[in-house]
């Protein structure tokens, strides 16, 4: 039983080594899990699966941890790390049954679009980590981004669109509860991964504009 503060926060001593999971138990992963409303409810209802949330904001990670402790949830952990890096380097190959991405930051301004999660790099890493036949569930309030994400998957022959899961109110995320309360529309879609040629992932590179700048004279 995990019940001390921080017990549900996954500590990674060496971020160059892949994470290890119990391969006898299905693994589900949520990207940008926030305070964990969805994933902790799902973990509580599915004690035979393991759940990993990935979230970069420390305050939200701590709230996720608190929810697990108060709820007596033993099968969920949260990792405070960048999602693309985690998918690219740390998750087991074809070891994840379901990935959830709910209300990812839509980066609506044109000049910020390169920050969006969905694109060829994420789809490559996603396919590599999903079990063949594993699913990705996606939801957003942002109609334009919804169209972009659907186009990304439609252009990638390694995925086929399937019906999204039914999510009753207790499986709404924090942002979703807010958006639905404001009467905003929520767009949902899901895809299943298909067998395909299993190439190694090319190393992630940092674009020149994102390289740390040299400070003159130092």
Ligand X SMILES: C[S@@+](CC[C@H](N)C(=O)[O-])C[C@H]1O[C@@H](n2cnc3c(N)ncnc32)[C@H](O)[C@@H]1O
Catalytic residues: 105
Choose between 28 and 176: whose C-beta lies nearer to ligand X. Answer: 176
| Smallest distance from ligand X to CB 60, Å | 5
Question: Could you tell me how many helices (H) and strands (E) the chain has, helices first?
Answer: 6, 7
Choose between 210 and 216: whose C-beta lies nearer to ligand X. Answer: 210
Phi, psi (degrees; rounded to nearest 5) at 54: -120, 125
Which residues bind to ligand X, rule: CB under 6 A? 32-34, 54-57, 60, 82-83, 102-105, 173-176
| Smallest distance from ligand X to CB 184, Å | 12
Phi, psi (degrees; rounded to nearest 5) at 138: -135, 140
CB contact at 8 A, 130 and 136:
yes
| Smallest distance from ligand X to CB 32, Å | 2
Spatial distance between the Cα atoms of 215 and 29, rounded to a whole number of angstroms: 40
Choose between 169 and 218: whose C-beta lies nearer to ligand X. Answer: 169
| Smallest distance from ligand X to CB 1, Å | 27
Choose between 25 and 85: whose C-beta lies nearer to ligand X. Answer: 85
| Nearest-CB residue for ligand X | 32
Beta carbons within 8 Å of 92's beta carbon, 6+ residues apart: 18, 19, 20, 21, 23, 27, 129
The closest of 205, 21, 1 to 129, measured between CA atoms, is: 21
């Amino acid at each position: 039983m995990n019940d001390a503060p921080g017990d549900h926060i996954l500590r990674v001593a060496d971020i160059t080594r892949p994470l290890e999971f119990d391969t006898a138990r299905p693994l589900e992963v949520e990207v940008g899990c926030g305070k964990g409303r969805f994933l902790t409810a799902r973990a509580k209802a599915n004690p035979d699966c393991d759940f990993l949330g990935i979230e970069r904001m420390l305050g939200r990670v701590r709230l996720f941890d608190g929810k697990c402790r108060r709820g007596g949830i033993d099968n969920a952990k949260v990792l405070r790390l960048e999602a693309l890096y985690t998918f690219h380097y740390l998750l087991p190959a074809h070891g994840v049954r379901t990935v959830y991405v709910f209300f990812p930051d839509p980066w609506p301004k044109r000049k910020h679009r390169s920050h969006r999660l969905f694109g060829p790099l994420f789809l490559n890493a996603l396919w590599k980590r999903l079990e063949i036949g594993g699913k990705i569930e996606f939801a957003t309030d942002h109609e334009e981004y919804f169209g972009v994400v659907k186009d990304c998957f439609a252009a990638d022959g390694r995925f086929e669109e399937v019906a999204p899961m039914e999510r009753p109110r207790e499986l709404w995320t924090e942002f979703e509860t807010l958006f639905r309360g404001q009467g905003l529309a929520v767009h949902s879609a899901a895809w299943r991964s298909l067998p395909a040629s299993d190439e190694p992932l090319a190393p992630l590179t940092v674009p020149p504009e994102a390289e740390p700048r040299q400070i003159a004279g130092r």
